[in-house]
């Protein structure tokens, strides 16, 4: 203990007084043919600094095959030796001495038997560089005014849709621009902002965590990343576009995207205003729109489907954003973005739900009309300061503020399977919510003189207060209930990590993490006498609650990174306590503790010839939220009531992920397969009780026949399995890219209905085939077919087994004719067969436009377009849980004509 304390004190003093002078280290060796040992003149030898690739060095072998690389530092490097006609040679190298000799390195010849040699000027479309898949943009043809989203849509293995961006079956979590973050972590927004004609390469890889990048070893915390590399001659200048359009029925749109690049300084401005449902935001902008402590939970997870997408209904949007990246001197880098959204959404929704009961079925139908006004500010900052060669400071901060106002008018009815009315509601629900969220992460990292020996301190804080003022009006009974809620969540956590090198390619790390999360919720409910306006406090519907979750997490990890292959194994021990204090409606204190071992194993193998395999097994725990723990009835929807459960346990999860990828460089093709498996014990599901007759609780709360009361409970037996395969190939004879993706999944979801266990098993499959043009900049099209379907089996009642599927045929066409005439066409045919026959539908969405380019370099364009030419546009959605299957249709925008002017800005300096 004394020795450990002495080591810590010595380190703290070293922060202020120690300064390690950079040594001028060098590496030398010779490259020869493995067969005849002849020197390989001109072989390229590259040393990539694992921690900072900008500090990499290279050399070219001389007439004797010898090379020397100087000006190196104590660090880990990836050694890459390449020569035409020979297999790539790679290994991980640790540079520790002033003059390090590698000796003689033999390279194996790349032998290929050719029946016929045909020399063509075709660009290699896809390359595998280590664990990075790299696409060369010049191999893909796009229209002159296309975005990076249009460009990556053509690349094999990459899929862009309304849910976001995925590569090789896995969702892209962030988009970087020349290695730096761009508008936080909103992939669609980033790709829509970047013009295709400035892109040189697109790279897809698992980005290591900040800790991994500092130590040079993978710690298992990676982010599936897309890095857009710009052309060298497009990194100094201004570019973007401005547009404005007006159509019938006072519909409009206007916006601008302006980029100013000056070497390392990148500034981007974007703005948008429209009332035609063009929305540009991520899930954080939707906080408070539904759920989250507001109305009762009958919506069934609607908000959980938002990754990056749009709300149902018709939305008017005003938004503005700024993104800045810059290097402040040689030691400090800065990344920051600000985004503002203001939306007004009008929606008319029809909903049908079929609930699973033992020996019976219950149906619920609803007509909901809503108006929602939402405004959101988001700020993300990241600053990295290199104090000296041994010390680094990283700060990451984010802030958001939201103001949400909404009104809902609901007409709902519950019937039995004979069609008899059990209960109904006609109500008006209005809410006013404000919330802000601040989080900050401070990381200090120290590198000792011995390469691979590091220590880092991580301090993170988060605070999230929310105020809700909600008013429920029963339009049938002329009654008013006011719900006022003040919530605050705050977290304080810290982590210390020490790493020590083992051998030439291994590393051991030891860490200790402690965190404390506190959630407070004060809910006051008043029953209002409409005639007099008098308020009566309802103790039964009010709640004062505090939850405190504290955890300690010591752990040890071993990593080995050798010749591009990674093996990592870790074991953490978690001790956590959950303490709840409640005053209303009952005084109740509970405290429990949890002890868990959390193992994980990770491996990545380079199989050669463009192939690699990745696998990760990990375990984790999830604590119940304050709203799940609160023991108070929420009757804001009288047909779907809910109450918390203070006796919930944390959930323990097992996750297995495997990914295989192979690139066929000679055929410009790529194939990948990904499998993910998740199993959970003490899964927090729902227990639903059906009210059998009209009744009133002891606290005066009315319960209608057929109404449902839902309580969260811990259940075992949750499983989720997903397999996805993608294949893409450039068909050179017809200059088209063929992209195929297939997926199958299985979900086992447990739930309770009237204390009877129901297991809902959902089997799903989907396939999508797309043919994308790669003919020229003037001919651009994408034709695709997609089929997806699901089959649901219920253990509680086989008669409720159901299936639904969707077929989609779509195409987009952009043609540029001589003299600047442009034709655009987008057609989508969709057929939906649902659980309920009344929701079976099919429709064709047809959009078309003609345009004329003019002005210098065709910078200006005037377009006449029509949206939904046939007037058939529709929207529908389905949700499956262990208690019910639900389908909904929402209001959509239909046919309109619009005239739009667009100006492209391009001004680059050499």
**Neighbouring residues of 124: CB distance < 8 A, sequence distance ≥ 6:** 136, 139, 665, 668
pLDDT at 305: 25
Beta-strand ranges (E) seen in 754-892 are 756-773, 779-794, 802-816, 821-833, 841-854, 860-867, 876-880, 884-890
Q: How many Å apart are CA 152 and CA 196, to the nearest integer?
A: 9
CATH number at residue 205: 2.170.130.10
> What is the model's pLDDT at position 219?
61
> Is there a single domain that holds both residue 770 and residue 888?
yes
HEC readout, 255-283: EEEEEEEECCEEEEEEEEEECCCCCCCCH
Place of tokens 């899929």: 159
State the Cα–Cα distance between residues 92 and 97, nearest whole angstrom: 16
Here the tokens at position 461 are: 């804080």
Q: Give the pTM.
A: 0.80
Together in a domain, 677 and 584:
yes
Question: Residue 113: inside a domain, yes or no?
Answer: no
Note if the bond before 454 is cis, omega within 30 degrees. no
Residue 44 burial class via C-beta count within 10 angstroms: exposed 0-12, middle 13-18, buried 19 and up: middle
In contact, 71 and 27? CB cutoff 8 Å: no
With respect to residue 119, please indicate whether it lies within any of the assigned structural domains. no
Report the pLDDT value the prediction gives residue 116, as an integer from 0 to 100: 45
pLDDT of residue 16: 35
In a domain, 122, yes or no: no
Question: Is the same domain home to 133 and 74?
Answer: no
Q: How many domains does the chain have?
A: 3
Counting Cα atoms < 13 Å in the Cβ hemisphere of 825 gives 10
Q: Where among 224, 239, 254 does a domain terminate?
A: 239
Query: From the first residue on, what is the mean pLDDT of each consecutive set of 10 residues in the chain (910 residues)?
Result: 44 38 70 82 78 68 82 79 79 76 82 46 68 84 88 84 76 85 74 88 81 63 84 87 94 93 88 86 45 41 29 86 90 92 92 82 92 93 92 94 94 90 92 95 92 92 95 84 93 95 88 96 88 84 92 94 82 96 83 95 85 92 91 87 92 95 82 94 93 78 86 96 91 88 94 91 94 90 93 81 89 93 94 77 93 92 95 84 85 93 87
Nearest to 243 by CA among 234, 252, 231: 252
- Residue 3, in any domain of the structure: no
Structure tokens at 744: 């199958």
Q: Are residues 401 and 309 in the same domain?
A: yes
Residue 97 DSSP label: S
Question: Tell me, what's the pLDDT at 95?
Answer: 80
Does 658 fall in a domain?
Answer: yes
Q: Quick one: 235 and 259 in the same domain?
A: no
Instruction: For residue 36, give its domain range.
Output: 24-107
The answer as to whether 7 is a domain residue is no
If asked whether residues 186 and 263 sit together in one domain, one would say no
The DSSP bridge pattern shows strands 588-608 and 611-622 to be antiparallel
CB burial of residue 300 (10 Å; 0-12, 13-18, 19+): buried
Question: Which pLDDT score, from 0 to 100, does residue 19 have?
Answer: 34
- Give a yes or no: residue 388 inside a domain: yes
- Residue 78's Cα: distance from chain center in Å? 30
Same domain, 685 and 737: yes
Is there a domain that residue 4 lies in?
no
Q: Which of 239, 257, 277 is the C-terminal boundary of a domain?
A: 239
Helix (H) or strand (E) holding 434: strand 421-447
Query: Do the Cβ atoms of 436 and 400 come closer than 8 Å?
Result: yes
* Predicted pLDDT at 340: 93
Same domain for 163 and 92, yes or no, is no
Residues 432 and 494 in one domain: yes
Query: Residues 211, 62: one domain?
Result: no
Query: Looking at residue 212, what is its pLDDT?
Result: 67
Same domain membership, residue 274 and residue 150: no
Q: Please tell me the predicted confidence (pLDDT) of residue 665.
A: 75
**Residue 840: its pLDDT value, please?**
81
**Residue 456 · residue 496 · CB < 8 Å:** yes
CATH number for the domain spanning 50: value is 2.60.40.10
User: 641 and 789, same structural domain?
Assistant: yes
List all residues 6 or more positions away from 330 whose beta carbon is below 8 Å from its beta carbon.
none
Indicate the residue among 196, 214, 239 that finishes a domain.
239
DSSP category for residue 623 = P
SS in 3 state form for 6-38?
HHHHHHHHHHHHCCCCCCCEEEEEEEEECCCCC
- Domain harbouring 830, CATH code: 2.40.170
SS3 249: helix
């Amino acid at each position: 203990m004394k020795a450990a304390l002495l080591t810590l004190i010595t380190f703290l003093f070293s922060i202020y007084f120690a300064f390690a002078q950079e040594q001028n280290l060098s590496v030398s060796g010779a490259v020869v043919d493995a067969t005849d040992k002849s020197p390989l003149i001109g072989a390229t030898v590259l040393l990539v600094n694992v921690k900072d690739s900008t500090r990499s060095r290279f050399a070219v072998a001389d007439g004797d095959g010898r090379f020397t690389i100087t000006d190196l530092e104590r660090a880990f490097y990836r050694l890459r030796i390449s020569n035409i006609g020979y297999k790539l040679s790679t290994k991980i190298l640790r540079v520790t001495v002033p003059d390090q000799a590698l000796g003689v390195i033999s390279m194996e010849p790349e032998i290929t038997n050719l029946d016929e040699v045909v020399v063509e000027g075709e660009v290699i479309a896809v390359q595998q560089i280590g664990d990075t898949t790299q696409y060369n943009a010049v191999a893909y043809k796009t229209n002159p005014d296309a975005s990076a989203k249009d460009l990556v849509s053509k690349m094999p293995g990459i899929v862009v849709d309304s849910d976001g961006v995925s590569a090789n079956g896995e969702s892209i979590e962030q988009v970087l621009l020349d290695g730096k973050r761009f508008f936080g972590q909103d992939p669609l927004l980033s790709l829509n902002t970047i013009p295709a004609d400035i892109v040189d390469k697109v790279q897809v890889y698992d980005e290591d965590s900040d800790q991994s990048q500092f130590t040079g070893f993978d710690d298992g915390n990676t982010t599936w990343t897309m890095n857009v590399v710009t052309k060298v001659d497009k990194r100094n200048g201004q570019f973007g576009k401005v547009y404005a359009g007006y159509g019938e029925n006072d519909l409009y749109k206007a916006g601008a995207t302006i980029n100013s690049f000056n070497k390392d300084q990148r500034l981007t401005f974007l703005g948008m205003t429209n009332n035609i449902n063009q929305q540009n935001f991520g899930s954080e902008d939707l906080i408070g729109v539904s759920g989250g402590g507001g109305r009762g939970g009958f919506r069934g997870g609607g908000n959980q489907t938002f990754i990056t997408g749009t709300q149902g209904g018709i939305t008017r949007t005003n938004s503005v954003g700024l993104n800045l990246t810059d290097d402040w001197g040689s030691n400090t880098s800065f990344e920051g973005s600000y985004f503002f959204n203001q939306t007004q959404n009008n929606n008319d929704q029809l909903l049908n739900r079929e609930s699973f009961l033992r020996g019976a079925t219950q149906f619920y139908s609803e007509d909901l009309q809503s108006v929602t006004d939402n405004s959101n500010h988001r700020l993300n900052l990241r600053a990295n300061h290199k104090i000296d060669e041994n010390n680094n400071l990283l700060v990451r901060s984010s802030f958001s503020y939201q103001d949400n106002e909404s009104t809902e008018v609901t007409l709902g009815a519950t019937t039995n399977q004979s069609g008899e009315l059990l209960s109904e509601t006609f109500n008006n629900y209005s809410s006013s919510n404000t919330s802000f969220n601040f989080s900050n992460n401070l990381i200090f990292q120290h590198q000792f003189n011995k390469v691979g020996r590091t220590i880092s301190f991580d301090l993170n804080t988060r605070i999230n207060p929310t105020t809700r003022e909600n008013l429920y009006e029963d339009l049938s009974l002329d009654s008013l209930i006011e719900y006022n809620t003040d919530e605050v969540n705050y977290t304080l956590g810290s982590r210390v990590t020490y790493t020590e090198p083992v051998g030439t390619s291994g590393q051991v790390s030891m860490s200790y993490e402690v965190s404390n999360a506190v959630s407070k919720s004060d809910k006051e409910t008043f029953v209002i006498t409409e005639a007099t306006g008098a308020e009566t406090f309802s103790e039964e519907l009010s709640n004062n609650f505090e939850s405190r979750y504290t955890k300690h997490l010591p752990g040890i990890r071993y990593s080995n990174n050798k010749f591009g292959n990674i093996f990592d194994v870790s074991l953490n021990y978690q001790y956590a306590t959950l303490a709840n204090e409640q005053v209303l409606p009952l005084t109740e204190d509970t405290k429990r503790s949890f002890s868990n071992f959390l193992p994980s194993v990770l491996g990545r193998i380079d199989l050669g010839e463009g192939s690699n395999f990745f696998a990760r097994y990990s375990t984790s725990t999830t604590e119940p939220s304050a709203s799940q723990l609160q023991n108070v009835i929420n009757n804001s929807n009288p047909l779907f009531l809910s109450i918390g459960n203070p006796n919930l346990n944390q959930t323990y999860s097992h996750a297995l992920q495997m990914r295989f990828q192979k690139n066929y460089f000679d055929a410009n093709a790529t194939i990948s397969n990904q499998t993910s498996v998740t199993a959970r014990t003490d899964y927090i599901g729902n227990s639903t009780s059906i009210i059998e007759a009209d009744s009133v609780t002891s606290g005066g709360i009315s319960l209608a026949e057929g109404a449902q009361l839902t309580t969260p409970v811990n259940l075992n037996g949750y499983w989720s399995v997903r397999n996805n395969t993608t294949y893409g190939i450039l068909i050179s004879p017809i200059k088209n890219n063929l992209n195929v993706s297939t997926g199958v999944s299985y979900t086992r979801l447990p739930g309770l209905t009237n204390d009877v266990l129901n297991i809902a098993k959902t089997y799903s499959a989907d396939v999508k085939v797309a043919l994308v043009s790669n003919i020229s900049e003037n001919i651009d099209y994408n034709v695709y077919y997609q089929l997806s379907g699901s089959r649901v089996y219920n253990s509680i009642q086989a008669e409720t087994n159901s299936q639904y599927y969707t077929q989609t045929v779509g195409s987009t066409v952009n043609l540029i004719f001589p003299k600047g005439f442009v034709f655009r066409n987008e057609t989508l045919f969709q057929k939906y067969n649902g659980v309920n026959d009344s929701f079976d539908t099919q429709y064709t969405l047809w959009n078309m436009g003609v345009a004329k380019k003019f002005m210098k370099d065709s910078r200006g364009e005037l377009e006449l377009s029509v949206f939904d030419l046939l007037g058939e546009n529709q929207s529908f959605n389905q949700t499956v849980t262990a208690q019910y299957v639900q389908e909904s249709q929402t209001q959509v925008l239909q046919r309109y004509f619009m005239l739009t002017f667009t100006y492209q800005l391009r001004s680059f300096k050499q």
